[in-house]
């Protein structure tokens, strides 16, 4: 019996090389990783629009190593060596997919152009040069200088200077961790903050791996050997990953303890981390992490043994409930604090089964008849109705009435009616009344739903409101200029006074 191994067709190998290729930056990073694994103490990278060069003073490769490891994809001398970064034997394919490559190592010169031949030409040179030099001519040249800058800046953000290696990119050395930027450190990890590096980025042996989801503005550098996945963009489960999680937890808790204020986004991140067991709940119990619908931030301890409602931030019903002493929390926290969640149980926070509308006495909205207004107010009311028909006619056919409310300056059913609260007439000045009415009408026309119980304003609402006021302000100026109080009074007596 004879055992015969399978072989891969070159077309399939070419497909594998091209499919696993990433960005130009990733291809260059693979070259840097190879230099580091070759024990280089100095790595120089030159990036231009038409070509790149990676040069190091590392060990290089012998003829035997080229035949065994360079020629065969998936076979790596690094496999099983915990001091090596790359162990899958595929990384060089990233460069081959992006460029025509000339690879000089010791006495060996290798020429690779996978667009012509899935393999390499090998030449023996007369002089044995230390290290490795890789010259690559881009298959697709970079069109502009800013494309070069983009690659350079990304590569800089992916590399950290370590004690043993000097890395220079386009004549400028990469960043190191400055002692004044270190937040916390132990034998395995360093937490630091560098505003020029990606926030929440995690590095392993000076190389960027990924971003992690944790609280705080800092980066992590893992000093030892980590187990990485095939793409080298994630950590595999190991005792070191558990140690890293514990280290990050300590840094997070220290950051939270020293912080004085939090916004709602930070609060939700911290609460979710606490629910997942990544942050001790005792650390956060007195921190104001939870936003009420009236904008105030409160702590878990403040909510202990309380009954809460969830509602819309800025809603009229929710604001009224808060004014009457009910604890109304933003709906954004619903999944974190609903009954049954770990935090709700620990702090005995109960979600009310009652509806807010049943608990809160809402203000009444009622219409005020013209005859119940003073003569002067009747003229101003007529002017507001005339303004509506003159300026806002192409925004819909809503009729304007005067109303009375203890909580709103104006309101609408979102369809056919708008009410302006009668207190506007206390301004006792024609221009001020007309200008205030104009802005109230713009506001209400931006609502396409009934806003008497809830009045939610998001970014789209304010953009629409801004655009409408800018578009119609000239019409307002024209209206005020054309209609004096006496003209409006005569017009009202002629057409609207009966």
Report how far apart, in Å, the C-alpha atoms of 203 and of each of 221, 224, 228 are. 5, 10, 12
Q: Check residue 253 and give its pLDDT.
A: 93
Measure the CA–CA gap between 151 and 156, rounded to whole angstroms. 9
Nearest partner of 55 among 70, 42, 39, 66, judged by Cα: 42
Please provide the DSSP assignment of 147-188 as one string. Answer: HHHHHHHHHHHTB-B-SS-EEEETTEEPPB--GGGEEEE-SS
pLDDT digits 0-9 by tens, 201-230? 999 989 999 999 889 999 999 998 888 887
Which tokens hold the place of 219?
Answer: 């980066």
Report how far apart, in Å, the C-alpha atoms of 155 and of each of 12, 23, 59, 84, 148 are. 30, 11, 23, 20, 11
Q: Check residue 87 and give its pLDDT.
A: 42
Question: What CATH number matches the domain at 10-174, 3.40.50.720, 1.10.10.10, 3.30.565.10, 3.40.50.970?
Answer: 3.30.565.10
Confidence class of residue 363 from pLDDT cuts 50, 70 and 90?
low
Average pLDDT over residues 55-60: 93
Sheet holding 182-185, edge to edge: 182-185, 189-192, 219-222, 201-204, 207-211
pLDDT digits 0-9 by tens, 295-315? 889 999 999 988 888 888 767
- pLDDT-above-90 percentage for the chain: 49
Confidence class of residue 78 from pLDDT cuts 50, 70 and 90?
very low
Q: Check residue 91 and give its pLDDT.
A: 65
Measure the CA–CA gap between 379 and 115, rounded to whole angstroms. 83
Average pLDDT over residues 107-120: 87
Residue with tokens 């009229």: 316
Instruction: Count CB-CB contacts under 10 A for residue 56.
Output: 27
Measure the CA–CA gap between 316 and 364, rounded to whole angstroms. 12
pLDDT digits 0-9 by tens, 444-490? 999 888 887 666 677 788 889 999 999 999 999 999 999 999 999 99
Do the bridges between strand 166-169 and strand 42-47 make them parallel or antiparallel, or are there none, so unpaired?
parallel
Measure the CA–CA gap between 268 and 265, rounded to whole angstroms. 5
Q: Check residue 183 and give its pLDDT.
A: 95
Number of H helices, E strands in the chain: 17, 20
Class of the CATH-defined domain 366-496: alpha beta
459-482 vs 375-391: helix axis angle to the nearest 10? 110
- pLDDT-above-70 percentage for the chain: 87
Enter the pTM of the model: 0.64
Average pLDDT over residues 255-277: 92
Please provide the DSSP assignment of 439-484 as one string. Answer: HHHHHHHT--S--SS-----HHHHHHHHHHHHHHHHHHHHHHHH--
Which tokens hold the place of 117?
Answer: 């031949």
SS3 308: strand
Domains of the chain, by residue range, sit at 10-174, 180-258, 264-359, 366-496
pLDDT digits 0-9 by tens, 378-410? 999 999 999 999 999 888 889 999 999 877 889
Q: Are 76 and 69 in contact (CB under 8 A)?
A: yes
Q: Check residue 86 and give its pLDDT.
A: 43
Average pLDDT over residues 425-430: 87
Nearest partner of 388 among 474, 454, 475, 487, judged by Cα: 475
Stretch (H or E) spanning 297: strand 297-299
Given a cut of 60, whether residue 57 has pLDDT beyond it is yes
Q: Are 413 and 359 in contact (CB under 8 A)?
A: no
If one compares 64 and 153, the residue with the highest pLDDT of the two is: 153
Average pLDDT over residues 146-168: 92
Average pLDDT over residues 353-368: 72
Which tokens hold the place of 293?
Answer: 């619908």
Average pLDDT, the chain: 86
Given a cut of 70, whether residue 19 has pLDDT beyond it is no
SS3 314: coil
Instruction: Count CB-CB contacts under 10 A for residue 333.
Output: 21
* Dihedral angle sign, alpha carbons of residues 159, 133, 74, 164: negative
Measure the CA–CA gap between 209 and 234, rounded to whole angstroms. 6
């Amino acid at each position: 019996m004879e055992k015969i191994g399978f072989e891969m067709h070159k077309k399939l190998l070419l497909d594998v090389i091209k499919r696993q290729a990433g960005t130009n930056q990733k291809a260059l990073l693979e070259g840097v990783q190879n230099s580091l694994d070759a024990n280089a103490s100095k790595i120089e990278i030159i990036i231009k629009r038409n070509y790149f060069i990676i040069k190091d003073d590392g060990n290089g490769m012998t003829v035997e190593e080229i035949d065994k490891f360079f020629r065969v994809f998936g076979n790596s001398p690094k496999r099983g060596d915990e001091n090596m970064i790359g162990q899958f034997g595929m990384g060089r394919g990233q460069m081959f997919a992006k460029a025509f490559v000339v690879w000089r190592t010791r006495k060996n010169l290798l020429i690779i152009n996978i667009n012509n031949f899935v393999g390499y030409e090998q030449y023996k040179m007369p002089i044995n040069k230390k290290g490795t030099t890789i010259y690559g001519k881009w298959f697709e040249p970079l069109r502009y200088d800013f494309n070069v800058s983009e690659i350079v800046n990304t590569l800089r953000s992916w590399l950290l200077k370590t004690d043993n290696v000097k890395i220079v990119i386009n004549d400028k050395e990469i960043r190191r961790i400055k002692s004044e930027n270190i937040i916390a450190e132990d034998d395995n990890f360093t937490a630091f903050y560098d505003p020029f590096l990606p926030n929440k980025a995690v590095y392993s042996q000076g190389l960027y791996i990924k971003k992690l989801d944790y609280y705080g503005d800092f980066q992590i550098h893992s000093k030892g050997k980590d187990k990485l996945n095939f793409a080298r963009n994630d950590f595999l489960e190991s005792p070191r990953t558990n140690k890293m999680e514990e280290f990050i937890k300590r840094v997070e808790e220290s950051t939270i303890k020293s912080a004085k204020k939090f916004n709602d986004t930070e609060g939700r991140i911290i609460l979710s981390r606490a629910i997942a067991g990544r942050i001790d709940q005792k650390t956060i119990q007195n921190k104001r992490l939870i936003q009420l619908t009236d904008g105030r931030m409160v702590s878990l301890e403040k909510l202990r043994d309380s009954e809460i409602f969830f509602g819309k931030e800025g809603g009229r019903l929710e604001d009224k409930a808060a004014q009457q002493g009910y604890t109304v929390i933003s709906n954004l926290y619903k999944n974190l604090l609903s009954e049954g969640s770990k935090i709700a149980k620990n702090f005995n926070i109960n979600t009310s089964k009652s509806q807010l509308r049943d608990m809160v006495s809402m203000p009444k909205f009622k219409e005020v008849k013209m005859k119940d207004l003073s003569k002067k107010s009747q003229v101003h009311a007529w002017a507001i109705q005339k303004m509506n028909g003159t300026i806002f006619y192409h925004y819909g056919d809503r009729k304007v009435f005067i109303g009375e409310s203890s909580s709103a300056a104006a309101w609408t059913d979102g369809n056919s009616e708008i009410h302006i609260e009668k207190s506007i007439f206390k301004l006792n000045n024609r221009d001020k009344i007309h200008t205030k009415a104009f802005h109230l009408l713009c506001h209400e026309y931006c609502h396409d739903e009934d806003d008497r119980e809830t009045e939610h304003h998001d970014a789209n609402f304010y953009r629409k409101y801004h655009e409408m006021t800018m578009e119609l302000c000239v019409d307002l100026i024209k209206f005020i200029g054309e209609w004096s109080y006496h003209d409006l009074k005569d017009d009202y007596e002629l057409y609207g006074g009966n």
